[in-house]
Structures are given as C-alpha cells and as structure tokens.
Amino acid sequence: MNSERLVSREAPGRNGSDMLAGTVQRYASRLFVFLYRLTGDIHTAESLVDDVLMEFFRHPGHRARANPLVALYGIAAQFAARRLSNQKVLPFRRSLPDSAVAGPLTEDSACRQQLASVLDRLFALPFPQRAAVLMHKYDCLDYVSIARALQLDEVAAASLVRDGYRQLCGAAKPS
C-alpha cells in the first residue's frame, strides 16, 4: 500500500493532511484484510485499498457519515465487485499454504479438509452475501451498518448474513 503517497498527494493543507493520515493509519489495515477476504487475492486487495481511500477522500459526503468504516466498506464492496466482474478468471480457488492452517487444531487431515470445505463454500457465496458475512463475522458490524455499506435495507442484510451462515454451517458438518 502506498499510504505515504496518498497522504502527500491527495490532501492539500495541514488539516486535510492530518485527517487523511489519521484515516489511513486507522483503517488501512482493516480495509486490506476485508478486501483480501473478499477477493481472495493479495495483489488485488493492495491495489483496491488505495483506490478506496482515494474515493473516500474525493467525496465529502463519505466523510460526513457517523461511522467512516461503514462508508469505507461500502466503497470497498463496490470496487471489489467491479474489479472481479472485469476479470475472466476469479482468484478464489486458492490452495492453503501449510503455514496458514498449521496449528494444534489442524494437525489431522480431517480438520484440514473441513476448513478447506468451509473456505470453498465461503468463496462460492454470491458476492453481496460473502461481503455481508465477512463484515458481520470479522468486523462485528450490525445489520444496519451492513445494509448501509451494501446499500440494502436492514431486512435484506440480515437475510444475506443468515443465509450465508446457513450455507457455511452446511459445509462445516462432518460427513
């Protein structure tokens, strides 16, 4: 991520620069993790972080929201959907490196297979549903925040999260 470049190039004046630097410092890593989980590709996530932050600071309406993370996730979901729809081959079918799943709970092959099954199911979810589940599970956003980020109503966001968990739980059941 080129956070230093963002701060020096995009924020004119002392106050804008301080605000941009604080936002980049506060949200860039969370945004990267969200985009990586959403796209499944580290390079795509890195390039999207800069794009999302630039878009966030171009429009004052985004900064006026009470929770900037919701605005950032909304922009990130739109950018990721646009980027993935332009790609011919989706980067989702990644094999897990041993270091990513090594640990006491993943020593046996049955546990590794179950984890791989859940990850396959996660990346098989439709894009808005995957985004909603990731925001709910890893960032503890409530349905109202998820609805704002994905530009849905609260009932639709709750339905996306509930149905996504239901599909993931089906993958987690031992066979």
Among 39, 81, 38, 73, smallest CA distance to 56 is for 73
Reported as a single tens digit per residue, the pLDDT across 99-114 is: 444 455 445 677 777 7
The pair of three-digit structure tokens given for residue 166, joined into one six-digit string: 């239901």
Which of the 8 DSSP states describes residue 91? T
**6-10, 122-126, 129-133, range with greatest mean pLDDT:** 129-133
The residue behind tokens 């936002």 is 23
**Four-way CATH pick for 1-91: 2.70.98, 1.10.1740, 1.10.490, 3.40.50:** 1.10.1740
CATH 1.10.1740 region(s) of the chain?
1-91
Quote the pLDDT of residue 19.
66
Reported as a single tens digit per residue, the pLDDT across 150-171 is: 888 999 999 999 999 988 887 5
CATH 1.10.10.10 region(s) of the chain?
99-175
CB 47 within 8 A of CB 90: no
* Domain 99-175 in CATH 3.30.70.1150: no
pTM, two decimal places: 0.62
